[in-house]
Amino acid sequence: MTKVHGPQSTNQKPARMSRRASGLGAGALIVGGAVFASRWFNISAEAGVDGTLSVPDAHKAAVSGTALLIDIRRPDEWQRTGVGEGAIALDMRRDDFTEALLAQTEGRTDAAIALICARGVRSRGLTRRLTSAGFTNIIDVPEGMLGSGAGPGWLKRGLPVVAWTPA
């Protein structure tokens, strides 16, 4: 006869998580969610500090020609909201993004280029990437089209937009 160790009943209750463990788990979820939200909504962004522009200033620079304003969002986003007046729609996911940008600047890496996206998260990252690639005058528009910690954004400020249609 073989001796079996441990409980023989299949009606055994599952082990319960302690209050402390469930509290730590809930706390981790809250902190993780807060970090995600702060990045998604770019809560800590500031406009008007070195290397950034507010959306009204970006609009003025674009229509006056003192900066090239590049809307780096996706086509579905341009379709939904339109593109800011004076901006050039150039999807940052393009394999040839840098080449397409250089075509817009006539090959100048020192041209003033302001980048705008939805909430300033992608524009911040692309600013670093283009600076590393040799561009010397990249300007972030951290407010974005939809608003962030830097301000209410292009749309809520009522700045003009133009409808985008696929080429």
pLDDT (tens digit, 9 = 90+) per residue, 74-104? 999 999 999 999 999 999 999 999 999 999 9
Alpha-carbon distance 41 to 24, whole Å? Answer: 25
Tell me the CATH class for 55-162: alpha beta
Mean local confidence (pLDDT), 43-64: 78
Mean local confidence (pLDDT), 48-63: 86
Neighbours of 29 (CB within 10 A): 10
pLDDT tens digit sequence for 99-131: 999 999 999 999 999 999 999 999 999 998 999
Phi, psi (deg, nearest 5) at residue 161: -125, 155
For residue 53, the model assigns a pLDDT of: 93
Alpha-carbon distance 22 to 20, whole Å? Answer: 6
- Report the percentage of the chain scoring pLDDT > 70: 70
For residue 153, the model assigns a pLDDT of: 96
Mean local confidence (pLDDT), 15-20: 64
More confident residue, 70 or 133: 70
Residue 106 Cα distances to 65, 93, 113, 147, angstroms: 14, 21, 12, 31
The mean pLDDT value of the chain amounts to: 83
Q: Where are the domains of the chain?
A: 55-162
Alpha-carbon distance 11 to 36, whole Å? Answer: 41
Q: Pick the closest to residue 93 from 77, 73, 79, 116 (CA basis).
A: 73
Which residues pair with residue 161 across a beta bridge? Answer: 84
- What tokens were used for 69? 């304003």
Alpha-carbon distance 68 to 84, whole Å? Answer: 12
Q: Are 155 and 117 in contact (CB under 8 A)?
A: no
